[in-house]
Amino acid sequence: MQREIIHTDRVPPARVPLSQAVRTGGWLFVSGQLGMSPATGRLVDGGIAAQTRQVCENLKAVLEAGGSSLAQVAKVTIYLADLNELMAMNAVFSEYFPRDPPARTTFEAARLVGDARVEIEAIATV
pLDDT of residue 3: 96
Show the domain range for 75.
3-125
43 close to 51: Cβ distance less than 8 angstroms: yes
Q: Which CATH number characterizes residue 37's domain?
A: 3.30.1330.40
What's the pLDDT at 16?
Answer: 86
**CB-count exposure of residue 36 (10 Å: 0-12, 13-18, 19+):** buried
How many domains, the chain?
Answer: 1
pLDDT digits (tens, 9 = 90+) for 92-110: 999 999 999 999 999 999 9
The predicted model scores a pTM of 0.96
* pLDDT tens per residue, range 2-20: 999 999 999 998 888 999 9
